[in-house]
Structure 1
Amino acid sequence: MASRQESSLPLRPKEQDPPEGQATSKSALKKAAKEKEKAEKAARRQEQERQQKEQAEASDTAKHLYGPLSLPSEPAASQEFTELADLYDAKEDQEVTLDARVHNARVQSTKLAFLVLREGPHTIQAVIAEGGAHKISRQMVKWSGGLNTESIVRVTGLVKQPLEPVTSTSISNYELHVASIYLISAAAQQLPIQVKDCMRPPPMGDEPTQAEEQAADGTPIVSLSARLNNRVLDARTAANNAIFQLQSGVSNLFIEYMNKHKFTWIQSSKIAGAATEGGAGVFEIKYFDTKAYLTQSPQFFKQMAIAMDMKRVCEIGPVFRAENSNTHRHLTEFTGLDFEMVIRNHYHEVLGFSERLLIFIIRALQTREEYKRLTKVVQQVYSEAGNFKLPPGDDAVRITFAEGVKLLNEAGIEAAELDDLSTAQERTLGTLISQKYSSDFFTMDKYPLAIRPFYTHPDPTSPHLSHSYDFFMRGQEIMSGAQRIHDYNTLCERMRASDPPLDPLGKGFKDYTDAFRYGCAPHGGGGIGLNRVVQFYLGLPDIRAATLFVRDPGRLAP
């Protein structure tokens, strides 16, 4: 009975889930409420930060002494600026204003920050301390210490002697106590390579391909490839900046010497209508509807200028060589220092002039204060810089090719009197000359005629030899030169006897040979590789370190 009564009780209705749309609506409302609360908190936080910032700015006694700087739209009163290089000889308490890069920045405390300022190869420590006569604020200290490295700033301050020399900067006997600092140009916070990491020599040979790889001591290794890919940053290092200033110095010294000896400056064309000088190793280019070629050297043009009665000519310009040589001293484009001059009696007039030119350049690099200082900067990275040996006086060590071969044979290095020397033989010869004459510079005269260009003048007394010479620094060639053939018939004969034969009346040659058909004075000259002079004078391991924008078989950028 009981069970019958229970069964008669009414059934409770079954619970059902809310409609799908209603559940979604509640979830969306909760999410929206959370987002609203989150946004309100963020807004309150931003407002609080804004108020704190305004309060900090209101209490900032130095807000006019730092911050972004924009150049005025209208001319302003001229301001006197100081170069960092001038601070080596500064005076205590001298006030200076300068523009420089932030090489390093760090906050020592809320009251003190340090910067290392860099301009070219020169660096100095800058101190930003709270208080003082200018009432520098903690906000200014924090802002200054947080500047991104490589940013450009304008700083005014007092030159002071530090308690101890600052060994980490090139200007060690002074530091700069900052009175004001303004940001001219901000550098990105993340850079592909760090300038400070490029202050060590790049690895050579089997180098790492990634800039992030590290040495055993944990310091990053920046490969040569990574440096060249980011040349704008790499070239900012003190050593690299000094290298290119020294390269400019070599050019200026060349100009100085040529002007002193009354040479005429010419600007030869770098485009030729035919592949000249034998046709090997030239870059072909499209020239409207025909082919043209980048010139391998200004050789033909220099000689034609002599035929124009210019007597002494010179130029500085690019040289192009389409040679697939991937070595430490070869480029497909380099800078040539070229000259040509009339010979009065004997071709040694040109050889002697060339030797005195190189000795003048090297001696000036060693003795003039501006170049000595730059060389010391390079020496901090490349230890061989500054160790280049020259004998006393103005005369170069000069040997003949036959004497060079003899020196090699006596040292157990097999060499033939009529064959060209290999790079290894030349380097060995350079070591032998250095040991015997205490000189890293020497010249070698009277090369075999068969290994010289067709326009090289034969030696009348020795038919297998020529009136030609090469110059060497640290056993590596930096200049090639000779007396040139000035007689039209002899020149044509030599061209036809070349291997392969050349047509004196052919395209690219007729204008050149005609210059001698019209009469031309005896002459000779040479071509100096600017990049190599810098490389070997400083003892750099690779010519790319002495080339601002490298062009070699594998590089077309930047």
Structure 2
Amino acid sequence: MTEPTPAASGSGEPNKEPSKNALKKAQKEKEKAEKKAAAKARELAERQKKDAADAEDVSKDVYGELPLCGSKDFKPTGTPREDLSKVDQVEDKEITFRCWVENARPQGAKLAFLNLRQGLNTVQAVVAASEKLSKQMVKFAQNISTESTLAVTGLVKRVKEPIKSATIKDFEIHITKLFVEVKAEVPLPLQVEDAERPLPSDEAGQDEKESDGRPLVGLNTRLNNRTIDLRAKINHAIFVIKSGVCSLFQEFLSQQGFTLIHTPKIQGAAGEGGANVFELKYFDRSAYLAQSPQFYKQMLIASRFQKVMEIGPVFRAENSNTARHLTEFTGLDLEMEFQENYHEVMGVLEDLMLFIFKELNNRYKKETDLVRSAYHVDEFKLPESGKVPRIPFQEGIKMLREAGEELGDFDDLSTPQEKHLGRLVLEKYNSDFYTLDQFPLAIRPAYTMPSPANPQLSNSYDMFMRGQEICSGAQRIHNADLLAEQMRKHDPPIDPNGAGTKDYVDSFRYGCPPHAGGGFGLERIVQFWLGLPNIRMTSLFPRDPQRVAP
């Protein structure tokens, strides 16, 4: 008899042990849940910690980064902004102003000093932890990147000792609110404080170091990063002075009855002759950038404008890579009729420059002194009105020969000879500004009036600062037949009936008074006034044979 198979008690099924895989899976699920719970606990703890810290940050609403100005999230406050130049008028008052950070100096966890700049003014600011100002705000201030733009509110406080590191020496700002309007990226391609120091002595523009190890950044590096370089106070001062020269030029000549004009800078032909013009495509034909406004100035005198002046760009396609040449510069030009002698016009030009020099001393002394503190140059020696040295060219030749120079009676002066003559004139006349008169006709433009005293000379003149030319001028031929004759005799000859000259020559066939004028190089005036080593420093974005960017 067969025995029955025993059944599992209670369930009617056989007993089964969990598999190893199932046990491992369960263990992993458990560990995963524990990690998730731990992460949540940490997150909760950190949130609680942050909430507690925020609760302790009494300054959380008065510092931070503002939304982008003009964005949909930006809400203007309407708070008036102050000018730091007037900080002495608001002692013990709270002011708000825009500025940027020159540097931040941490002094432990509870204190930071910021050097803040606005224009040419710098001020020391203090961020100090207190019951009303948190350590978090101090830390924020310590970590603001250099050159970031800020909106600052603070109390103006007088200091006991002058502050050496700022231009505002008797006051500092105790910051109560501090917002970053625009954050500057770091690192900067060029440090602004390096641009405050003088150029290296190497004219090639290579970087060097001072004896104390601080960098002297070369001109090429600066020009390649020009928007940073131009932030330097010394560069701001240069261009404030440059603007001032233009204003003074117009101010003086306006009082003399001159009319401001604007002549074309695109011409259909290279009217003055020579190859120093830039050709450009003008629709279906060629055109040229103007070498000067000369022809148009004279045509306006023929149009019965008695006195005209212009400030405008001048283009010269000269492959001159010197420290005083640019391919695009700003011309200060004037032309006027005179009564009996072209020296009447020379007198106006001389008085114009004396006015500019004297008013630069009066109105722009702060900027001049700032630049000259880096580029040390002797004070500019000025003669009195009516006593500007007027030296005949032949006398200048004689002075140079007596000083050892070898040159012919009608040779043009080289740059070293011009500088040498400048030193001789300074020694003899105690003037850094003077005029050379009666230049050889052969080295002047074809429209220059020949001298009645000597047919090899001309009624022309140049003006000099520190022995370097800043102005070229002359009496112009105002008779069409004589002008045509002189143009044909010129080297190289110029066709008076050519495309770029016929209208100009014909303008004198209908009666034109005797007239003279001149053209100054604005950048040269600024360069020589300040004693700068390179003219490129006086052009915002200079153009020379090697540079057309930025």
| TM-score normalized by the length of structure 1 | 0.88
Contact 2:198 2:216 in 1 (8 A): no
Contact 1:102 1:150 in 2 (8 A): yes
Task: Say if 1:448 and 1:45 are closer, same or farther in 2 by CA, change over 3 A.
Answer: farther
What's 2:180 paired with?
183
Please give the alpha-carbon distance, in whole angstroms, between the structure 1 residues aligned to 2:161 and 2:291.
Answer: 55
Task: Say if 1:61 and 1:77 are closer, same or farther in 2 by CA, change over 3 A.
Answer: closer
Contact 1:356 1:395 in 2 (8 A): no
1:240-389 pair list within 5 angstroms:
240-368=235-363, 371-384=364-377, 387-389=379-381
| 1:316 Cα deviation from its structure 2 partner | 0.6
Deviations 1:148-179 (A, max 9, x none): 11111111222222231111222222222222
Contact 2:162 2:169 in 1 (8 A): yes
Contact 1:129 1:136 in 2 (8 A): yes
Deviations 1:427-476 (A, max 9, x none): 01111111222221111111111110001111112211111111111110
Deviates more, 1:410-419 or 1:538-547: 410-419
| 1:144 Cα deviation from its structure 2 partner | 1.3
2:202 pairs with one of 205, 210, 230: 205
- 1:142 is the counterpart of 2:136: no
| 1:40 Cα deviation from its structure 2 partner | 10
Please give the alpha-carbon distance, in whole angstroms, between the structure 1 residues aligned to 2:331 and 2:32.
Answer: 69
Letter paired with 2:355 = F
Task: Say if 1:59 and 1:482 are closer, same or farther in 2 by CA, change over 3 A.
Answer: same
Letter paired with 1:443 = T
1:63-142 pair list within 5 angstroms:
63-70=60-67, 71=69, 78-87=78-87, 89-131=88-130, 135-142=132-139
Please give the alpha-carbon distance, in whole angstroms, between the structure 1 residues aligned to 2:345 and 2:41.
Answer: 83
1:414-429 pair list within 5 angstroms:
414-429=406-421
Task: Say if 1:366 and 1:191 are closer, same or farther in 2 by CA, change over 3 A.
Answer: same
| 1:37 Cα deviation from its structure 2 partner | 11
| 1:36 Cα deviation from its structure 2 partner | 12
Letter paired with 2:117 = R
Please give the alpha-carbon distance, in whole angstroms, between the structure 2 residues aligned to 1:477 and 1:43.
Answer: 79
Classify the secondary structure of the residue corresponding to 2:216.
Answer: coil
Please give the alpha-carbon distance, in whole angstroms, between the structure 2 residues aligned to 1:348 and 1:170.
Answer: 46
| 1:69 Cα deviation from its structure 2 partner | 2.6
Please give the alpha-carbon distance, in whole angstroms, between the structure 1 residues aligned to 2:195 and 2:542.
Answer: 17
Task: Say if 1:55 and 1:514 are closer, same or farther in 2 by CA, change over 3 A.
Answer: farther
Contact 2:331 2:522 in 1 (8 A): yes
What's 1:554 paired with?
546
- 1:507 is the counterpart of 2:491: no
Q: How many residues align?
A: 522
Classify the secondary structure of the residue corresponding to 2:341.
Answer: coil
Please give the alpha-carbon distance, in whole angstroms, between the structure 1 residues aligned to 2:39 and 2:244.
Answer: 60
| TM-score normalized by the length of structure 2 | 0.89
What's 1:465 paired with?
457
Task: Say if 1:75 and 1:208 are closer, same or farther in 2 by CA, change over 3 A.
Answer: closer
Please give the alpha-carbon distance, in whole angstroms, between the structure 1 residues aligned to 2:397 and 2:222.
Answer: 40
Please give the alpha-carbon distance, in whole angstroms, between the structure 2 residues aligned to 1:85 and 1:376.
Answer: 17
Deviates more, 1:270-279 or 1:53-62: 53-62
| 1:52 Cα deviation from its structure 2 partner | 4.0
1:167 pairs with one of 160, 164, 167: 164
Q: Unaligned regions of 5+ residues in structure 2, if any?
A: 1-23
Contact 1:204 1:224 in 2 (8 A): no
Contact 2:237 2:367 in 1 (8 A): yes
Please give the alpha-carbon distance, in whole angstroms, between the structure 2 residues aligned to 1:430 and 1:118.
Answer: 40
Q: Unaligned regions of 5+ residues in structure 1, if any?
A: 1-25
Give aligned-pair identity as a percent: 53
Contact 1:342 1:523 in 2 (8 A): yes
Please give the alpha-carbon distance, in whole angstroms, between the structure 1 residues aligned to 2:372 and 2:125.
Answer: 25
Task: Say if 1:167 and 1:102 are closer, same or farther in 2 by CA, change over 3 A.
Answer: same
Please give the alpha-carbon distance, in whole angstroms, between the structure 2 residues aligned to 1:333 and 1:222.
Answer: 24
Please give the alpha-carbon distance, in whole angstroms, between the structure 1 residues aligned to 2:143 and 2:103.
Answer: 10
RMSD between aligned residues: 2.7
Classify the secondary structure of the residue corresponding to 2:544.
Answer: coil
Please give the alpha-carbon distance, in whole angstroms, between the structure 1 residues aligned to 2:536 and 2:254.
Answer: 29
| 1:94 Cα deviation from its structure 2 partner | 3.7
Contact 1:120 1:237 in 2 (8 A): no
Please give the alpha-carbon distance, in whole angstroms, between the structure 2 residues aligned to 1:314 and 1:39.
Answer: 81
Task: Say if 1:467 and 1:117 are closer, same or farther in 2 by CA, change over 3 A.
Answer: same
